Amino acid sequence: MAVTDQPRSYAIRTYGCQMNEHDSERIAGLLEADGLVLADSDESADVVVFNTCCIRENADNKFYGHLGRFKTLKEERPDMEIIVSGCLAQKDRDQIAARAGHVDVVVGTHNVHRAVELLHESRRNGPITEIWDEALDDEATFPSALAVRREVDWSAWVTIQVGCDNTCAYCIVPAVRGREISRPFGELLTEVERLSADGVREITLLGQNVNSYGRDLTSARRSLEPSSEDAAIVGAQWLDDRRARPLFADLLAAVSNIDGIDRVRFTSPHPKDLREDTIAAMASNPSVCPHLHFPLQSGSDRVLALMHRGYTAERYLEKLAAARAGIEDLAVTTDIIVGYPGETEEDFERTLEVTAAAEYDSAYTFIFSPREGTEAADMVDQFCDPAAVADRFDRLRVVVERSALAKHMARIGRTETIIVEGPSKRDPEVLSGRTSQNKLVHFRSDRPLRSGTLATALITDASPHFLRGELVEVLSVSRHRTRFAVTAG
């Protein structure tokens, strides 16, 4: 490796979900702690990280395509180093080095905190693949404690649990992320307090199944004479009662009461585990956003059973009704898979009915793609006809957009509180902000507004995917140190 006065630079390509984006922030934090700086582009970076996903087929196809292109770049610049991390690294292991000999480090989901150490090791000994089958220490289980370089200064993700104890037949997560482990309650509160002191005003609690947070924080982890470590695990208020433990509702209430935190979001809850106390905590803590992401996956009981989702369509709609009854002005979004193996036209019609009944604000709809290593991937003889699936996908989109548009039109004339995110991606003359319901609002402002600013906007127009409005008032400017001002014409 050539030695220059310039610090080496890095770039990270992230595939997949928010959990992965948060892991990328951690890897960025580790690289910056090692003296690297953010590169202007992926192509010019000295260290390129591919933080991969294997949940959806197109994410892994995309990754192998991008990785292939970096082979030529590396031939031109042999100093370039390439790290592959994330779910696909965990699943494919040695296959990545076999398919792409230009990769320097392959690191899995349980040892992401070792990424930089492995990079140093690869400089001494050549390419290295290190995958752990499970987290071997606390640092590995909860790498949230690592230095993080956040993408946005006023908003932060906080991992509250890792892994998943469910067995959804299409999902590779339990295999690549392991059993569900809740992050200690006291430690989470300390992290959110630190984030607030740093100027963060919005946090998103992350987990594969946030509603089951705390189930593993049992009293067995506490002794008769509790120590400060016990208090950090379960929270001081539960130490006197050895049967009690903090659950997700307690966590929501506790973090939403931390000074300076204006908005608390979370993703994703599993419908079967949504409890009344979570609904009550959302309803009674104003900083918890009135937005519930509630993954349906299918409206057919037969398909839900094949998927091992643990609820029926009727039970799902009952829980949704309870959430809407309990939480004022609740926005609801969902995930739906179209063309699950064995899905008939009749099954799909049930999905259309439940989708219409649920009146979603928006939905992430996916065409089923088999993930190797899952039960669903083995149901080859029941895979659906692609043309029928494409047709179903379009019909579902129409139903989703109908309710989304109706929900959005109903907001015209209202004054919404938004947090400014920055210039709109399509038109830099326009600013974008987000409401507590997680709706995007595009608006014009005659003055510069920093990202993170809390403001109000009058909603003047709506489409299925966003709202348009006019700035009414700036409520409070962002407390974080902004590197540049966001302006609009």
Residue with tokens 């230095």: 147
Chain Cα centroid distance, residue 433: 19
Among 29, 127, 174, 370, binds ligand SF4 (CB under 6 A): 174
Q: Say whether residue 164 binds ligand SF4 (CB under 6 A).
A: yes
Q: Say whether residue 166 binds ligand SF4 (CB under 6 A).
A: yes
Structure tokens at 253: 């209430």
Which residues 266-295 are close enough to bind ligand SF4 by CB under 6 A? 270
Q: Say whether residue 162 binds ligand SF4 (CB under 6 A).
A: no
Count CB-CB contacts under 10 A for residue 257: 12
Q: Say whether residue 26 binds ligand SF4 (CB under 6 A).
A: no
Structure tokens at 345: 């036209």
Of residues 208 and 287, the one with the C-beta less far from ligand SF4 = 208
Going 123 to 125 to 126 to 130, the CA torsion angle's sign is negative
Count CB-CB contacts under 10 A for residue 349: 14
Chain Cα centroid distance, residue 365: 16
Among 100, 118, 171, 400, binds ligand SF4 (CB under 6 A): 171
Q: CB 171 → ligand SF4: shortest distance, Å?
A: 3
Alpha carbon distance 459, 469 (integer Å): 4
User: Can the peptide bond before residue 268 be classed as cis, meaning omega within 30 degrees of 0?
Assistant: yes
Of residues 103 and 164, the one with the C-beta less far from ligand SF4 = 164
Alpha carbon distance 362, 107 (integer Å): 35
Q: CB 167 → ligand SF4: shortest distance, Å?
A: 6
Of 243, 87, 306, the closest CA to residue 175 belongs to 87
How many residues touch ligand SF4 under the rule CB under 6 A: the total is 9
SS3 content of the chain, % helix, strand, coil (to 5): 40, 20, 40
Of residues 234 and 337, the one with the C-beta less far from ligand SF4 = 337
Alpha carbon distance 249, 258 (integer Å): 15
Which residues 419-438 are close enough to bind ligand SF4 by CB under 6 A? none
Which residues 455-474 are close enough to bind ligand SF4 by CB under 6 A? none
Q: Which stretch binds ligand SF4 (CB under 6 A): 89-97, 161-169, 219-227, 251-259?
A: 161-169
Q: CB 394 → ligand SF4: shortest distance, Å?
A: 24
Of 358, 369, 365, 355, the closest CA to residue 393 belongs to 365
Q: Which stretch binds ligand SF4 (CB under 6 A): 77-85, 167-175, 229-237, 431-439?
A: 167-175
Of residues 22 and 102, the one with the C-beta less far from ligand SF4 = 22
Beta carbons within 8 Å of 91's beta carbon, 6+ residues apart: 54, 172, 175, 176, 372, 373
Window 175-214: contact mask with ligand SF4 (x via CB under 6 A): ---------------------------------xx-----
Of residues 89 and 103, the one with the C-beta less far from ligand SF4 = 89
Q: Say whether residue 304 binds ligand SF4 (CB under 6 A).
A: no
Name 171's bridge partners: none
Chain Cα centroid distance, residue 241: 33
Window 214-253: contact mask with ligand SF4 (x via CB under 6 A): ----------------------------------------
Residues near ligand SF4 (CB under 6 A) are 164, 166, 168, 171, 173-174, 208-209, 270
